[in-house]
Amino acid sequence: MKVLIGQFITESNANTPDKNEISSYDIAFGDELVEKMQVGDIFAAANIEVIPSIYAVSGASGVIKKSTFEYIESCFLEKIRMHINEIDGMYLMLHGASEVEEIGSGDHHIIKKIRELVGPYLPITVACDPRGNLCQEYVEAITAIRSYRESPHVDARDTWRKMAKMLCELLADRRNIHAVYRKLPLILGGEQSVSADEPVKSINVFMNEIEKDPRILSCSWHVGYIRHDSSVVGSGIVVVPNTESDFGYAEEMADKLAKYVWDKRHEFHYTGITAKPEEALKMAIDFVGKPVVITDSGDNTTSGATGWNTYILRQVLEIKNLKKKFLFASICDAKTLDKLETLEIGAETHITLGTNYDEMSKSVEIDVIVKSKGNIIRPIGIGTTDIYNVFGKCVTVNIKNTSIDVIVANHRQSYVHNVQFEHAGVNWQDYDVTVVKQGYIFPELKEKALFYVMSLTKGATPQDTASLSFKRIMRPMFPIDKI
């Protein structure tokens, strides 16, 4: 038997000015694709041959240019056409939060076009991010779809492999099933749905209990993605029956899970300490001990922000007689990085840092000393360090006559893993305060930080969900509307 595999990951934030071109993606084919998807051994163990299509990952970023998406989609479709008489099933990793110029959801479009080629019955399993948006047609076109449980996504790799194994089982024991879907009038930001906290913790326990029933293959709650305006925005419930005769029970469980999540809508809240920027900075400086972490939530690159904002840096530069040692990881400014890349370690220079796109990214004039150079990396899956994507370059500088270091980068990427700091040539735990481009704090930083606070900064990823402007979403929608 043979299965086609592929991956398309983009979390499209329409509030950022940049759009995704093909150069924004880490692209892989063939054996490199198989290695990066980390499921080839599962199919090999089942004596199933894999047919690699395309691996295209840009992470969280902007809306995708139509021409870029059409190329990526064509790689899926052309490979299917080439092997249409050989393919027994498909395994895909689709984020669920892509947005394409003139098209809408790229994930939904890919599945629609695939079904036009292969028909309604070919088994297709999909592993996805919980911060993706669903619709009825998309879900029902997939044999089985499941999102990660945990946020941050420490179970991502386990979910990828779970859905690969599920396809092997479906090929060994063919059945006519598809996923059951329920849409909820609920819109949530990622910072309000951290799995270590309630009510998500209880929701995950409830789903785990549902999955123990032999009549259910899998179930998941898709939190949804709020950073672009679309008719598919909002939370969704997916329950996959084990057999055709279990559809009725899957429908019943979908209703129960939907009600369970909906009844907890007033319990969703920010996890950890949050504060307005002035108070957040004061908390960090006043804390006795280190390391301390401030998350710059309005410029959260894990949700597609630019990483350009210099606001907190400017806050710190205004402090007279600063006693604490600060690290900013990172500030994205490609032009300034190009200049710094030409200099040797120890070199001194004057730079303009900040893109001046808006008030939040206003530039600062600073004299700096080059401390280290490195690559911007992102491990493939939280908790993994051996396989990663390289997205760009970075240079760490010290602002002369201050205790402030800045990692200057040419690509938006949040520093959430220790290994990312290592590749930049710094140890964040040597600093009193580290400022990162995140909303909620990620596990490796949380484990080591003695104190952390989310600064409610402005930017492309504001945290006040109810204040966001939507024109195309289903209404009424909680918490934008009172329901």
pTM value is 0.92
Dump pLDDT digits (tens) for 146-157.
Answer: 999 998 888 999
Dump pLDDT digits (tens) for 406-461.
Answer: 999 999 989 999 999 999 999 999 999 999 999 999 989 999 999 999 999 999 99
The dihedrals phi and psi of 47, each to the nearest 5 degrees, come to: 60, 40
Dump pLDDT digits (tens) for 160-198.
Answer: 999 999 999 999 999 999 999 999 999 998 888 898 899
Q: Are 133 and 225 in contact (CB under 8 A)?
A: yes
Q: Is 68 helix (H, G, I), strand (E, B) or coil?
A: helix
Q: Mean per-residue pLDDT for 111-125?
A: 98
User: Which residues sit opposite 329 in a β-bridge?
Assistant: 407, 436
Q: Mean per-residue pLDDT for 295-317?
A: 96
- For residue 432, CA distances in Å to 54, 282, 319, 337, 397 come to 43, 13, 15, 25, 17
Q: What is the domain partition of the chain in residue ranges?
A: 2-267, 274-461
Q: Are 472 and 229 in contact (CB under 8 A)?
A: yes
Dump pLDDT digits (tens) for 331-378.
Answer: 999 999 999 999 999 999 999 999 999 999 999 999 999 999 999 988
CA separation for the pair 395, 414 (Å, rounded): 15
